[in-house]
A and B are shown apart, each in its own frame.
Chain A
Amino acid sequence: MEVTLWGTRGSLATPGPETARYGGNTSCVGVRGRAGTVLVLDAGTGIRRFAKTIPASVLRVDILLTHLHMDHILGLGFFGPLYRPDAEVHIWGPASSTQGLQARLKRYLSPPLFPVRLNELPCKLHFHEVPRGDVDIGEFRVCSALVCHPGPTVGYRITSPTGQVLTYMPDHEPALGALRFPALPREWTSGATLAANADLLIHDSQYSVAEYGCKCGWGHSSLNQTLDFGTLAGVKRLVPFHHDPDHTDADLDRLMLDAIDETKPRYQVSPGMEGSVFEL
C-alpha cells in the first residue's frame, strides 16, 4: 500500500512560512492499495488536495473518520468525489450514545455551518458506524477499536493482502491516568493491540513533555510518550503526527531530536510532514 500524508497538523489549520515544512493542513492520510482501493483517513483540511489526485476512474472511495472533532471533518465538504454522481462514497466513523454517525455529521454539513446538506450531495453516500470487528474494504482488512480521547474516538488497523499493517491513531492519550507510562502490558494500554507490530504507526504527538504536564486529559500525547508507545507496541516505523498549532518547523525539529535522544527508540522515526509518502 502507498500511504501519503496530506495533513499533519492537529486542532487547527496552521498555514504560514513557519509551518511550511511539516505542513499546516489538519489530519488527512491517503491510502492506495495495489488493486486500486482508495482509503481516506480523516477529513481534515488536507483532504482537498488529496481529492484532486483521485482519478475519475475511481468509482468508490472509503473515508475512515477516527472521530468528529472539527479538525478531522472540516475538509469533508471539499472532498471532490462527494459531488460526482457516479461516485460511491462510504463514510465510516463513530456514533455517539444518542446519535448515529449520519446525524452527527449533519450538524456540520448543513446551514449555517455549511451551505450544502448531506442529503443534497450528488454521490451515492453510505454510512457505517464503528467500532466493529474486522471489515473488508476493497483489498484491505480494517479493524477499528475505541481509544482514549474525549468523545467516541477510534483507531484503525489496516492490513494489506500481503500482510503489511498500517495503524492510524492521530488523537490518542494512552498515558491518561497512568502513574508511569508505559508500565502496563499491551492489553491494558489503550490502542496498543491495534498498533501491535505494525509496519507503520501514525500517532498523535501533539505536545512536548512540559506541555503535556499542563494538558493532561486533553486527549493527546507528548512526543516522548508516543515514542515509548511505539516501543511497547513493537512497531517497525513510527510517524509522529497531529502537531500542535503553536509548534513551528524549528520547534518540531528540536522536539523530535530531543525525544529520540531521550527515549532511544529501536525503530525508525519519520516525523509527520505533509507530502511524505510511505510504501508498505
Chain B
Amino acid sequence: MCANALNGQLPAGIMSGRRDDAGAGIFSTRQRVAAPKPIQIILARQLASSLDMPILLVDTAGTLIYYNEPAELILGQHFDETGEMPAGEWGKLFAVEDDMRNPIPQENRPMTIALTERRPISRAVWMRCGDREWRYLNITVYPLIGEGGQFLGAQMIFWEI
C-alpha cells in the first residue's frame, strides 16, 4: 500500500523487492526470545571480541554473559558451548587465592566487590581453573555505568604477571 506522492514511478524491480525464492537468512525463523542487551553491553562485547586480552563480561546479577577467546583459554570453556552462566555456576570454575595462598572467599573476590560496591578494583591473585596449574594474575574489574547512572554490569580483565 505504498504510494509515492511526489515522484511517480520507481525503477523496475526495486519496488517489488520481495524474493520468495531466497533463503530465510540468519535467525529469521528460529529466533529465540531473550531480553535485549543494553547498547553499552553490546559494544563492550564487540570490543572484547576484538582484543587479545582475556575479558569477562557480567550483567548486574553477576551472570557471565560473555567471555572472549583469550578468556576461554583461562576458563577452559568455550562460550559458544556454555553460553551464559549464572553467578553461582561460573564462580565455581576456578579457585582464587591471595599472595599468602589463602583462599579468597566469594564475597571478597574482585568481581563481587565491583558488583556490590559498584567501584573498580584491581589486585593480584593466584588462580586455578579445574585441575590446571596455578597462575599468578592481576585481575581488574570495573563497573559499567551508563548514562543517567544506570548500572549495567561489570567487565573483568585478566593480566598475566
Contact = CB atoms under 8 A, between A and B. Distances in A.
Interface of A: 4, 20-21, 23, 95-97, 145-148, 152, 176-179, 182-183, 185-190, 192-194, 196, 228, 231-232, 234, 253, 256-257, 260, 264-271, 273-279
B37 to A, nearest CB: 6
B4 A182 contact: no
Contacts of B10: 271, 273
A25 B29 CA distance: 36
Given A264-B23, A265-B19, 19 more contacts: A21-B7, A23-B6, A95-B148, A147-B39, A179-B49, A185-B34, A187-B35, A188-B37, A231-B25, A253-B11, A253-B14, A265-B25, A266-B19, A266-B23, A269-B17, A271-B10, A273-B4, A273-B7, A273-B10
Contact of B5 (A152, A194, A277): A277
A113 to B, nearest CB: 25
Interface in B1-26: 1-7, 10-11, 13-26
B17 to A, nearest CB: 3
A257 B34 contact: no
Interface of B: 1-7, 10-11, 13-29, 31-32, 34-40, 42-43, 45-47, 49-50, 147-148
B6 A275 contact: yes
Contact of A266 (B25, B26, B47): B25
Contacts of A20: 7
A146 B46 contact: no
B5 A188 contact: no
Given A187-B34, A266-B18, A276-B2, A232 B26 contact: yes
A179 B50 contact: yes
A26 to B, nearest CB: 16
Report, nearest first, the 9 A-B pairs whose CB atoms are least far apart.
Answer: A275-B6, A177-B46, A269-B17, A264-B22, A231-B25, A193-B36, A275-B5, A187-B34, A146-B39
B10 to A, nearest CB: 7
A275 B7 contact: yes
- Prevailing SS type, chain B contact patch: loop
Nearest to B50: A177
B31 A265 contact: no
Contacts of A253: 11, 14
A192 to B, nearest CB: 7
B32 A185 contact: yes
Given A177-B46, A193-B36, A264-B22, A234 B2 contact: no
Given A177-B47, A276-B2, A152 B147 contact: yes
A14 to B, nearest CB: 15
B27 A186 contact: yes
Contacts of A266: 18-20, 22-25, 28
A267 B28 CA distance: 11
A279 B148 CA distance: 37
A270 B2 contact: yes
Contacts of B37: 187-188
B43 A270 contact: no
A232 B2 contact: no
A274 B25 contact: no
Contact of B13 (A257, A264, A276): A257
A266 B20 CA distance: 6
Contact of A278 (B2, B15, B18, B26): B2
